[in-house]
Amino acid sequence: MTRGGRMTSLGSSFACALGLLLIVSTAAPVDAGMTGTWTVLQPSQNTDPSAPLPRVGHIMVVDSARNRLLLHGGTIFWWIDGDVRGDTQAFSMIDHTWTNFTTRHDPSRRNGHSLIPTAIPGEFLMFGGGDFYGERANDTWLLSVTDIPRWTEVSPTGETPAPRACHVAIYDSARNRMVVWGGYGDYQVMYSDLGRVPNEVWVLPLEPDASWARLAVEGEPPALRYNATAIYDPVRDRMLLIGGREFYEPTGAVWALDFSPRPRWERLETSGNVPVPYDYLDYTPYQWTKLWAFYDAGNDLALVYDGWKRVWVLFLEGNVEGVELETSGDPPVRPYETAAYDPSCRTLYASAYGVWSLTLSNPGIVPVRIRPGSPVPRVPARLQGAVPVAVLSTASFDARDIDPATIRLAGAPALLHGKAGYQVRTQDVDHDGRADLVVNVDGGALEYGEPGTSLFLDAGTSDGRPVWGRAAYESVPPARALADPAPGTTPAGPALNLAVERAVPLASRRGAEVAIRSGGPGPVRIALFDIQGRTLGTAELPEGSPGARTVRIETPARLASGVYFVRVHQGDRSAARRLIVF
């Protein structure tokens, strides 16, 4: 990147040979650098008598329909009373005041528990947790705030998971179920096998008379850990397990639990700046910060927060790559924060000593493709010359609006052609019927990055809108790279372009009609999901073929007015399109 800070260390790239074509795919123009600004919504030293006492081990979610945060449980700090609480409180994001919910049938007090959203807005599912003295729970509760706030205990039949705290839980929107893994049982003996829970994955379908079930999973599982974080990745149909602590030792390892075709654990390769829990010495695992992760459906990436000041973006396409964000403003004053994320306004909220918000100036990263059809493109190292870069147009963005003078490929500018101006042309590179922008940049000005990190493109439109692009690459000896097909030619076999060309709601609003261009042979999966990342409907083509196809995705309920996303996935490639329902 050309705009300083931590992003710069990941924005370095490479030199390459004359004639290599880089494909830059763009959605709506985005801010370069993806920064965030911290704002104090309620200071830590506040005088509001209704505000909850400072605590750790609590849980928080966003009730976006009612413009508020919901907080439950936790342990009050030892210098106050050190007690475990079971209160439920709401923080209004309109007037910044707290309201304590009191219901007739509340769960027992606890910390280290999980609370996840469900398919129904305003309903959240809680599992597990415990208190400071070693008691752990394995009960399940439903919190509904759609009308009068109320807790309802869910009593699944059959065997239940072992009692635990500091575990991970996600909502698998494709199968309408909760997935639970990890944590620990008895804190007093957690160093020994007596304090560990079985290394098993449990699932609970969210339907009447449901039963817990152990999920049969292939592959070597990750070592048991606590205070990890996890998201459901609807594009790749997997749970992503991030960070945590193994017997107090922090780890940044990232694992995927793939759900299809058969559940399987896999440790993922990572690069860049990958999140690791902040190592703040204290007395209990609740008082050590943990990571909090959230899936950003609109941009197909994960946001990760360390519970204090640091925030990362994880790119999910291919190998997982981390980039730490530059932030400004007034961050939380201490660690131990619990976090929630509202993708509709691109804002992360943190609360322990007060309430803070982190508003992102950029909702995501524009993907970059180097040479169509290459999952990890091969780039010859340390060669000079003009590098053709293609910036792709989409339905919402015309790449021809880019000002060539603003283009920087890892700091390398666009080349001039004497007095004739910049070396640019228009061409439909991806054969989607839209004119794309192709510009030559100075290969001699490119820099090398660490192996596995990405190439970044920084540019802007003629009216000042910033554009940012990204792609993975593999630096190889020139002989190997030059043996690849020549630029502008199509490799043998079918074309490998993959695109969502059109998406419109059905007349009944119970789904969408989607026109896709598949990238060749292999199964194709199309998913429709909302801005919260919940999968509303899917369709699958068992065997794709080159060319355009029209597919219907049906949903159980009518689509409400708002923004949705359609994503098509084939092999290691994916493409997306926004769907707006009026």
Superfamily of domain 36-364: Kelch-type beta propeller (2.120.10.80)
17 Cβ neighbours under 8 A, 6+ residues apart: 380, 383, 385, 443, 478, 481, 482
Q: What is the pLDDT of residue 180?
A: 98
Report the pLDDT averaged over residues 226-245.
Answer: 92
Q: Give the pair of three-digit tokens for residue 369.
A: 């493709």
Least confident of 120-134, 272-286, 309-323, 418-432: 272-286
Structure tokens at 496: 């490998």
Of the two residues 3 and 269, the one the predictor is more confident about is: 269
Q: Are the C-beta atoms of 287 and 56 separated by less than 8 Å? A: yes
Domain ranges for the chain, please list them: 6-30+367-482, 36-364, 499-581
Per-residue model confidence as pLDDT tens digits over 98-123: 998 877 788 999 999 999 999 888 99
36-42, strands of its sheet edge to edge: 327-329, 36-42, 355-360, 347-351, 338-342
Amino acid at 511: G
- The tally of CA atoms less than 13 A away on the side-chain side of residue 577 is 21
Pick the closest to residue 241 from 278, 212, 272, 268 (CA basis): 268
Q: Which residue has the tokens 């999980």?
A: 114
SS3 243: coil
Beta-bridge mates of residue 403: none
Q: If you average pLDDT over residues 356-360, what whole number do you get?
A: 91
Predicted pLDDT of residue 187: 57
Strand, helix or coil for residue 287: helix
Count Cα neighbours of 145 within 13 Å in the Cβ-side half-sphere.
24
Least confident of 89-93, 193-197, 236-240, 260-264: 193-197
Region 64-91: mean pLDDT is 87
Q: What percent of the chain is modeled with pLDDT above 70?
A: 75
Candidates 542, 537, 541; CA nearest to 564 is: 537
**Average pLDDT over all residues of the chain:** 78
pLDDT at res. 493: 37
Of the two residues 458 and 243, the one the predictor is more confident about is 243
DSSP 143: E
Q: What is the token pair recorded at 262?
A: 């058969």
Q: What is the b/e burial string over 476-507, where b = at least 16 CB atoms within 10 angstroms of the residue's CB?
A: beeeebeebeeeeeeeeebbbbbbbbbbebee
Whether 233 and 240 have beta carbons less than 8 Å apart is answered as yes
Cα 325–329–330 angle (5° rounding)? 110
**CATH number for the domain whose boundaries are 499-581:** 2.60.40.2550
Model-level pTM?
0.75
Amino acid 177: pLDDT: 95
pLDDT at 302: 93
Work out the end-to-end distance of the chain between its first and last CA atoms, rounded to an integer number of angstroms. Answer: 37
Instruction: Tell me the pairing of strands 338-342 and 249-250.
Output: unpaired
Question: Rounded to 10 degrees, what is the CA torsion of 342, 582, 394, 34?
Answer: -20
Which range has highest mean pLDDT (136-150, 486-500, 521-535)?
A: 136-150
Residues contacting 209, CB < 8 A, separation 6+: 157
Residue 565's pLDDT is what? 84
Q: How many angstroms separate the Cα of 570 from the Cα of each of 239, 264, 378, 524, 567? A: 18, 19, 21, 5, 10
3-class state of residue 55 by DSSP: strand
Taking only Cα atoms into account, the Rg of the chain, rounded to an integer number of angstroms, comes to: 25
pLDDT at 567: 84
Bridge partners for 257 per DSSP? 239, 265
21-35, 257-271, 438-452: range with lowest mean pLDDT: 21-35
Confidence of residue 286 (pLDDT cuts 50, 70, 90): very low
pLDDT digit string, tens, across residues 160-175: 999 999 999 999 988 9
CB atoms within 10 A of CB 308: 18
Calpha distance 225→184 (Å, rounded): 8
Which amino acid, residue 284?
Answer: T
Most confident stretch, 19-28, 35-44, 438-447 = 35-44
For tokens 């084939």, what's the residue? 570
